[in-house]
Structure formats: C-alpha cells, structure tokens
Amino acid sequence: EPEVTQTPSHQVTQMGQEVILRCVPISNHLYFYWYRQILGQKVEFLVSFYNNEISEKSEIFDDQFSVERPDGSNFTLKIRSTKLEDSAMYFCASSELGGFGTNTGELFFGEGSRLTVL
Amino acid sequence: AQKVTQAQTEISVVEKEDVTLDCVYETRDTTYYLFWYKQPPSGELVFLIRRNSFDEQNEISGRYSWNFQKSTSSFNFTITASQVVDSAVYFCALNTYGGSQGNLIFGKGTKLSVKP
C-alpha cells in the first residue's frame, strides 16, 4: 500500500542550526502539507502546498520556515535557525485531491520526524 | 472561530468494554467536514473516518461507530468490545469551507488505554 515516508525519524540539533526535514508523498498525490505536534499537545497545521507554491500557511509558519519541492518526489520543510520551541514531531501529509468537497481531509500522514532542539 | 474540543484527556477501560470518545466542534460555516484520526504509540496518524455536515447518518465499521449530531455539534466515536490494540490517542478534527484544503483543526486528543 502506498505510503508517505519521512526522513529522518529523529533529529537532534543545536539551537540556531538549520534543519531540513524530508518527505516523499504518495506518487499520484498533488497536495502536500506539514503539520506539527509538540509533545503531548494537539496536531497543528503549518502549511499546504500545491502546484509548486504555498496555498495556505498558519501563523506558526513564520519566516524561519520554508517548504520546497526540489524534484518530482521530495517535499521538504526547512527551519532556518531552530529555536527550543521548535522541538516537536513534524508530520508530512499528502492528498490526491484538495478542493473542498472532494477528498479534502483524506490526508495520508507519514510517521513523523521528531525534532529535538537543544 | 473554529474549534474542536475533546474534553476527555485520558480514558482507561478493561478489554471488551465499550467506550465512547466525545468530540464537540464549533464553526459558523454550514458546510464542513469532521474526522477522526488514531495515533498509536508508534506515532503515525491513521485516518479513521470523514463525515460531511450534510450527512447525519451514523456510521458503523466493524467495532467502530460514529454518532454525528448537528443539534449538539457533536461527533462522538464509540469502540465496542475494546481490545488492547485500540490503545492510542484519538483525535477529532474539523475542516471548514472557510479553510483551505487540508487545513485540519485538531482537538487535543483523548488517550485511550485498554487493559487486558
């Protein structure tokens, strides 16, 4: 069964360092997302991406964050200068269709990348 | 404002008991979708169900059932004859017409522990 894969599964970094989290969405999917879950808290939307551009972002997704689809398969989240409060599980997700009223929300999530900022 | 409330932080049951997880949502939109996701100890998020605001029929899938009541803005999830493998955190989520595709608003989750 097709699945979303994420690497690394766990990354430890020093505050101020740049981090890139990688995701390989399901191959025929067109919409890609990043979500974040601080330990023990709820899952929060960060950004959605379609047709090589951001379609929506939350207030969490500030200038320190960026996303990119550098090739036909990868979807990356970059944190430019990590802060302690960036420590969280980051989930990548993809969906085949994204328009409201279609398969909206049938997101397929990866297993997450746990980021620990020291 | 859109909001999802899962008032039960943790629930513990003994295997074979039935358990209901509550979800109350807030939205001014008349068109919206509601979801349940399961997060087992391994950490991934597993899609369980999606329900749109125009379909108030209850749904049953094996031991799982969902009760959607617009009058009380609730979308509760019942597991019948619970099993140890049901132990996980369960999240209810909302997507509204005012939000973009894939922008799910999650509740804080209910941690279910099923003991043998």
Give the DSSP H/E element, type plus range, for residue B76. strand B74-79
Q: What is the pLDDT of residue B97?
A: 58
What's the CA gap between B35 and A46, in Å, rounded? 18
Residue B31 has pLDDT above 80, yes or no: yes
Residue B70 has pLDDT above 50, yes or no: yes
Interface residue of B27, B54, B103, B105 to substitute, partner A, most A CBs within 10 Å:
B103
Residue-wise DSSP of B25-43: EE-S-SSEEEEEEEE-TT-
Taking CB atoms and an 8 Å limit, are B101 and A55 in contact across chains?
yes
Q: How many CB pairs under 8 A join A and B?
A: 78
Q: What is the pLDDT of residue A15?
A: 97
**Which residues from A are below 8 Å from B47, CB to CB?**
106-109
- The amino acid occupying position A47 is V
Region of poorest pLDDT, from A84-88, B31-35, B91-95 = B31-35
Residue B115 has pLDDT above 90, yes or no: yes
- The amino acid occupying position A53 is E
